[in-house]
Amino acid sequence: MSFPVTRPRRLRRSEALRRLVADVRVAPADLVLPVFVKEALSEPAPITSMPGVVQHTRESLKKAAHEAAAAGVGGVILFGIPAVKDARGSGADDPSGIVQLALADVVAEVGDALVVMSDLCLDEYTDHGHCGLLTADGSIDNDSTLERYGDIAVAQARAGTQVVAPSGMMDGQVAAIRAALDGAGFTDLPILSYSTKYASAFYGPFREAAECAPQFGDRSAYQEDPARAAAEGVREALLDVAEGADAVMVKPALAYLDVVRAVADAVPVPVAAYQVSGEYAMVEAAAAHGWIDRRRIITEQLVGIRRAGASMVLTYWATEAAGWL
């Protein structure tokens, strides 16, 4: 006896059927590879909490950028680690600072094959490890930090960056950076704003990678509180769009997919999601124990992030995943 029931399973019967009806695909071109480059380094240095990720020398970075481009990855985003740090993060806008030199290297190497982006922040460059300048009482001075961000944007632009990505969560940072870039003649340089960034323990391994753990306190006074509703993340994204952001970002990814969805529905610009260092470390650690199927888990997470509405994903697996997607 058969029942005329609706059978959703009909479309799941074969790989070919599943592929035909898939709504979400992840292409290598949707991925952006974050890379670390350190001044005065003679050999690439492994990052213990991020197995497979290194702090690059200028030379090894060129090779990694080349491999990403050959794999069809959509972009790379550079983080610089200076040899010397100070209170105002002078290395960040020094024309011969590490990120400026590395940007010029990478743009010359692969700048036509993928998008070369630069993270724009102070925490890698300050001796106190915060994302802005400090006041006498040790809090972050929003408005004097904006001036620094403007200078850093112009220095990165002169070095050839193709997108600046401010990650410091200062209010008004996009407007300040846009004004500085326009004033220096870089009217066509896009801003990908880390508009919606939470104060997250998932950044733990990154602070080893970029040597930027705050020397006191934490970032909860400027990054968003995970306990706020997605609407606050949307508000941050809309403010940045109003200030001139050409694309916005939600970060971290996996624990914030509701926010990715809400932001993607609310803004008329592309949305990026950053699968951050702690998300990477958790998968690598479990996979090293043989507890999960590493490749399937990575693919499923990337699909989930795209399904939530992100048009691009920053991921430390970009080059590798591009090889199997």
**Residues near ligand PBG, by CB under 6 A:** 119, 121, 123, 131, 167, 203, 206, 219, 276-277
Q: Is the dihedral of CA 9, 14, 16, 22 positive or negative?
A: positive
**Is 251 among the catalytic positions?**
yes
CB of 275 to ligand PBG, least distance (A): 8
CB of 123 to ligand PBG, least distance (A): 5
Q: Which is nearer to ligand PBG, 178 or 219 (CB)?
A: 219
Pick the catalytic residue: 38, 62, 85, 197? 197
Q: Which is nearer to ligand PBG, 188 or 225 (CB)?
A: 225
Q: Are 50 and 316 in contact (CB under 8 A)?
A: yes
CB of 118 to ligand PBG, least distance (A): 11
Query: Closest residue to ligand PBG, Cβ-based?
Result: 206
Residues 6 or more apart whose Cβ sits within 8 Å of residue 37? 55, 56, 57, 58, 61, 78, 79, 80, 81, 98, 99, 102
| DSSP letter assigned to residue 169 | -
Radius of gyration of the CA atoms of the chain, in A: 20
Q: Which is nearer to ligand PBG, 119 or 224 (CB)?
A: 119
Residues 6 or more apart whose Cβ sits within 8 Å of residue 258? 230, 308
CB of 276 to ligand PBG, least distance (A): 3
CB of 164 to ligand PBG, least distance (A): 13
Pick the catalytic residue: 38, 62, 85, 251? 251
Dihedral of the alpha carbons of 46, 52, 55, 60, in degrees to the nearest 10: 110
Q: Which is nearer to ligand PBG, 113 or 282 (CB)?
A: 282
**Is 62 among the catalytic positions?**
no
Q: How many whole angstroms separate alpha carbon 26 and alpha carbon 150?
A: 34
Q: Which is nearer to ligand PBG, 23 or 140 (CB)?
A: 140
- Tokens matching residue 14: 């074969």
Active site residues: 197, 251
